[in-house]
């Protein structure tokens, strides 16, 4: 296994925090990460890594299986070039592909699972690019963000991020990671989240409307659902918010967004779609 300090020395770079570069240097953490996919028998035939850095995690991914392929996306030109040199044999053998570019813009390959120490500045955007693919993901986040992803209704961490994450997957924090595991250390602690794809325990006809509706109601998290529906027509695009308030269950209308279970949001979104005259052109 390649030594992470040796990789950084050969790359001749120092991680630049302004470019979300915090390289994992703790071998024990690097060794554990692949086990979070193996524990759930994830298909690791083609693992996608976002943000390869100097390749410490890429190296662990390549060691996961004989047949498996790895694709790594790295935006930094110098680092992408280093990865191509350092892993020239693996690339020649067809085991590794390096894509140089922004993970929010490049075409992603079909992958069977992803294991990534994400660039924290764009972790949300990347995660919501990966989640709809319905593959197992093991991703590293700032701890506070991870806690919001897994939060349950009725807690202060519960919000739009919890509902939208849990719409696609069952998330679980499998490990918290101290700053010292990285070079340079980030400002805050990190956490590894495993996201196992699953269908939610409710049905929504229009996923986009549902997610927009949830986002809107959480912008008014201190208001009752009744007032939140009335105040957010510019976000939901509802032409007739009052009709939703009239048709909805009184008990639900008295709640606040942070007390609403995902299935309750879904039922209300279905009702709003039915009687509230959603108009996409009106939604901001
Ligand atoms: C937190 S580091 C992780 C590096 C390496 N995987 C490790 O664990 O040591 C994130 C990496 O993502 C890269 N990066 C930042 N923004 C990116 C983007 N939008 N698309 C792809 N890579 C990005 C950075 O250059 C950096 O190498």
Q: What DSSP designation does 66 have?
A: S
Instruction: Examine residue 225 and say whether the peptide bond preceding it is cis (omega within 30 degrees of 0).
Output: no
- The whole domain housing 219 covers 207-282
Tell me: the pLDDT tens digits for 70-116?
A: 999 999 999 999 999 999 999 999 999 999 999 999 999 999 999 99
Measured from the CA of 24, which atom of ligand 1 is nearest?
A: 9
Same domain, 142 and 33: yes
**How far, in Å, is the centroid of ligand 1 from the Cα of 65?**
23
Beta-bridged to residue 100, according to DSSP, are 74
Residue 7 counted as an annotated binding residue = no
* Whether residue 213 is found in the same domain as residue 149: no
| Rounded Cα gap, residues 45 and 63, in angstroms | 12
Determine the Cα–Cα distance for residues 136 and 114; give it in Å rounded to an integer.
7
Residue with tokens 């105040």: 231
Say whether both 65 and 188 belong to one domain: yes
Q: Which band of pLDDT confidence, cut at 50, 70 and 90, is reported for residue 283?
A: confident
- Residues above pLDDT 90, as percent of the chain: 96
Which ligand 1 atom sits nearest the alpha carbon of residue 116? 6
- What is the count of structural domains for the chain? 2
102 labelled ligand-binding: yes
Mean pLDDT of the region 43-59: 98
Which residues share a beta bridge with 140? 117, 192
Do 252 and 138 reside in the same domain of the chain? no
CATH number at residue 59: 3.40.50.150
**Count of other CB atoms within 10 angstroms of residue 269:** 27
Is pLDDT at 280 greater than 90 in this prediction?
Answer: no
Same domain, 248 and 132: no
CA of 160 to the centre of ligand 1 (A): 25
- 281 pLDDT band, cuts 50/70/90, is confident
> pLDDT tens digit string along 186-232?
999 999 999 999 999 999 999 999 999 999 999 999 999 999 999 99
Instruction: State the DSSP H helix or E strand holding residue 67, giving kind and residue range, or none if neither.
Output: none
- Has 22 been labeled as part of a binding site? yes
Separation of CA 93 and ligand 1 centre (Å): 24
Separation CA 87–CA 59 (nearest Å): 9
Give the pocket of ligand 1 (CB within 6 Å). 19-24, 50-53, 56-57, 73-76, 79, 102-104, 117, 119, 122
What Rg do the C-alpha atoms of the chain give, in angstroms?
21
């Amino acid at each position: 296994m390649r030594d992470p300090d040796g990789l950084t020395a050969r790359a001749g770079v120092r991680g630049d925090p302004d470019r979300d570069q915090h390289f994992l240097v703790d071998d024990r953490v690097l060794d554990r990460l692949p086990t979070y996919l193996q524990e759930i028998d994830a298909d690791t035939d083609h693992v996608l890594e976002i943000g390869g850095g100097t390749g410490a995690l890429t190296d662990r991914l390549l060691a996961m299986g004989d047949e498996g392929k790895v694709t790594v996306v790295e935006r930094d030109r110098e680092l992408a070039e280093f990865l191509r040199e350092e892993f020239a044999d693996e690339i020649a053998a067809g085991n590794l592909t390096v894509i140089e570019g922004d993970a929010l813009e490049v075409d992603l390959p079909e992958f069977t699972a992803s294991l990534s120490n994400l660039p924290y500045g764009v972790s949300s955007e990347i995660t919501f690019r990966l989640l709809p693919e319905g593959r197992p993901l093991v991703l590293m986040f700032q701890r506070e963000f991870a806690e919001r992803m897994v939060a349950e209704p009725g807690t202060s961490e519960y919000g739009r991020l919890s509902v939208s994450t849990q719409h696609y997957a069952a998330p679980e924090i499998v490990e918290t990671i101290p700053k010292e595991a990285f070079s340079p250390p980030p400002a805050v602690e990190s956490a590894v989240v495993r996201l196992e794809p699953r269908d939610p325990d409710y049905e929504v006809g229009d996923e986009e409307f549902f997610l927009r509706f949830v986002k809107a109601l959480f912008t008014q998290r201190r208001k009752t659902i009744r007032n939140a529906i009335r105040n957010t027509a510019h976000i939901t695009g509802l032409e007739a918010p009052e009709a939703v308030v009239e048709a909805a269950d009184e008990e639900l209308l008295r709640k606040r967004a942070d007390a609403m279970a995902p299935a309750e949001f879904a039922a209300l979104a279905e009702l709003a779609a039915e009687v509230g005259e959603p108009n996409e052109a009106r939604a901001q």
